[in-house]
Amino acid sequence: MGDALQIDIVTIFPAMLDGFLGQSMLKRAAEKGAVRFRVVNLRDYANDRHQTVDDRPFGGGPGMILKPGPLFRAVEALRSPEARVILMTPQGRRFDQRAALELSCARHLIFLCGHYEGVDHRVGEALATDEISIGDYVLTGGTLAAAVVIDAAVRLIPGVLGAEGAAGQDSFCDGALEYPQYTRPADFRGMKVPGVLLSGDHGEIEKWRREQAQKRTRERRPDLLA
């Protein structure tokens, strides 16, 4: 495994990440030295006694906006020359498997998690190198969205997943959905596993899986084949 991918997450809710980073694949990835996490409380970069990070929007309107100062200071303290500074926003580029693969090859990622009504526009304009959305819906905050992106990217770092190559068969990796998977028992309440999977004929199994993947993709996500 090469050098660790440095991942910094700047958030006003650092505790939200405790369970997420400390378990399962991400925990193992850190233990293997594939990735290094730094969770940063944005309030540490406020410059007043009350650790204020938000303010009312100019021009009026509901809610609060994250101020540019704390976010700029946090990034200036964390940044390395190769850092990608990623603002999580529903207005960003839609995240997908290709973007996950691209991020998994980076050296340093800094995630900026918004909250309230969002983030001062100058952060996206002059600080972020990327703006990413995880889908066309609005979450309460960017911490959960950053967690989704981090999970999808880290599992693609070579050597992170236990069974080498497991991620290569996942849906989207070759532009199609994955074939149907079964495990024991071979007959569950009368629902039988396709006979070919029990045949031991690996050539036939491969052929069946390719056909099933194409069929599923045609039925469920024809846009992927277009």
Q: Which is nearer to ligand SAM, 55 or 117 (CB)?
A: 117
Binding mask 35-74 for ligand SAM (x = CB under 6 A): ----------------------------------------
- Three-state secondary structure along 109-161? EEEEECCCCCECHHHHHHCCCEEEECCCCCCCCHHHHHHHHHHHHHCCCCCCC
Site for ligand SAM in 95-114 (CB under 6 A): 113-114
Pick one of 117, 151, 170, 178: the residue that binds ligand SAM (CB under 6 A): 117
Catalytic, out of 54, 70, 90, 131: 90
Cα separations in angstroms, 131 against 13, 45, 71, 139, 197? 20, 21, 15, 15, 43
136 is catalytic: no
Site for ligand SAM in 74-93 (CB under 6 A): 88-91
Peptide bond into 90 cis (omega under 30): no
Catalytic, out of 55, 102, 117, 178: 117
Least Å distance, CB 152 to ligand SAM, is 13
Write the single-letter amino acid at 166: A
**Angle formed by the axes of helices 97-104 and 142-154, to 10°?**
70
Write the single-letter amino acid at 77: A
From 12, 82, 91, 24, select the one nearest 54 (Cα to Cα): 12
Least Å distance, CB 49 to ligand SAM, is 25
By the rule CB under 6 A, 124 interacts with ligand SAM: no
Position of minimal CB gap to ligand SAM: 114
Question: Rule CB under 6 A: which residues touch ligand SAM?
Answer: 88-91, 113-115, 117-119, 133-135, 137-142, 145
